[in-house]
Amino acid sequence: MDFDPTEEQVAVRELTATVVASRDSTAPKWPDTELWSALASASLLGIALPEDVGGSGLGLVEFGCVLTECGRGLARVPVLFSTVAALAIDRFGSEAQRRAWLPGVVDGSRILTVGIDAAERTARPAASRDGEGWTLNGVLSSVPWAEQADRILFAADTADGPVLVLVDPRADGVETTAQDTTNGEPAATVTLTGVAVASDDVVVDADRDHFALQWVWQRIVAGSSAMLLGVCEGALHLTANYTNEREQFGRVIATFQAVKVHAGEAFIDTEAIRVTTLQALWRLDRGLSAEREISIAKFWASEGSARVTGTAQRLHGGIGVALDYPVHRYLLWAKNTELRLGSAQWHLGRLGELLGSAS
């Protein structure tokens, strides 16, 4: 693939960067409703959704550009999960579901999220047939933005394979319990007790070969890697500026050999995340097999972001622990996303399984 961005991709990144930079990343509010509205006004929330529902009709690489700038600017908005849920509805849902949900996602009036964990940290909820719909029972922890979302896209197990359904977090039988996260991003444990899901809210019925489940999972993981790329870029940029201004022994510390070595290693990690993430998104965009590339990208994103943000913290010295200085927030964001959607070790193990099955 060609790793050079197109003019369109450059424009998307620059526009997103401008919108995100207009907001104060230190504000504690989740979600940042003003930034959410600004992203919608700039037609960035529907960047990868089709034009017939108000989107821009671009691809996952362009969506990755938006996510990277949101990560770089520590944007407190649910753009990753809301967009991936919308993409799933567009790909697998009915025309009625598309018309009911996608225009609202594009204009920012609707928030969707995804309650799917294919890394198997917890068991999926169970679904039993109830007429043309389903009844759900089970518990899923760490569902991002569960209490803020209008609908949660859940995968629930049946004897014939998982079903993908839309659940109202305020429906009867649904209980959400807020959880604390490393960077403050909203998440909750969702308990489903006899939750009735009508046929109108069934996106995929009996996914026997797990195709739809993997389709959604792969896009969340690749998008998560794109956000971690932005987190690393932001931390590295802040560190470069600081080390080129901070003086010690009559010289800026960026000229010290040890600082150069650590900063250079952080730059290499960031570039590795960039190329592996771009390859994964590019293959998904073209309908090519990308299971291996997605795990490679998430491995680098999880491992690399921990090293990059840790290095940034250390190269700032004492000021790095000051809460009124922004560098620590990049470390918290990296830690929050490092283990979510499969840790580096989980994806390394998955790569081993894929290599073993191919031999």
171 in the same domain as 241: no
329 in the same domain as 228: yes
Low-confidence ranges of the chain (pLDDT < 50): none
Q: Total domain count for the chain? A: 3
Is residue 2 in a domain?
A: no
290 in the same domain as 343: yes
69 in the same domain as 124: no
> What pLDDT, on the 0 to 100 scale, is given for residue 126?
96
Is residue 344 in a domain?
A: yes
CB 231 within 8 A of CB 336: no
Is residue 336 in a domain?
A: yes
List pLDDT tens digits, range 191-227: 999 999 999 999 999 888 999 999 999 999 999 999 9
Q: Which residues are CB-contacts of 284 (< 8 A; sequence separation ≥ 6)? A: 60, 218, 219, 222, 290, 294
> What pLDDT, on the 0 to 100 scale, is given for residue 25?
66
- 180-211 per-residue burial string, b: 16 or more CB within 10 A, e: under 16: ebebebbbbbbbbeebebeeebbbbbebeeee
87 in the same domain as 136: no
315 in the same domain as 216: yes
> What pLDDT, on the 0 to 100 scale, is given for residue 29?
85
> What pLDDT, on the 0 to 100 scale, is given for residue 239?
97
> What pLDDT, on the 0 to 100 scale, is given for residue 117?
84
Structural domain of 156 = 114-204
C-alpha torsion sign, points 162, 165, 169, 171: negative
> What pLDDT, on the 0 to 100 scale, is given for residue 119?
81
Is residue 1 in a domain?
A: no
216 in the same domain as 170: no
Is residue 125 in a domain?
A: yes
Q: What is the pTM assigned to this prediction?
A: 0.95
104: CATH: 1.10.540.10
Last residue of a domain, one of 65, 80, 110: 110
> What pLDDT, on the 0 to 100 scale, is given for residue 37?
97
List pLDDT tens digits, range 300-357: 999 999 999 999 999 999 898 888 899 999 999 999 999 889 999 999 999 999 999 8
Long-range residue pairs from 31-35, CB within 8 A, at least 24 positions apart, any chain: 31/76, 31/77, 31/78, 31/111, 31/145, 31/148, 31/186, 32/75, 32/76, 32/77, 35/75, 35/76, 35/77
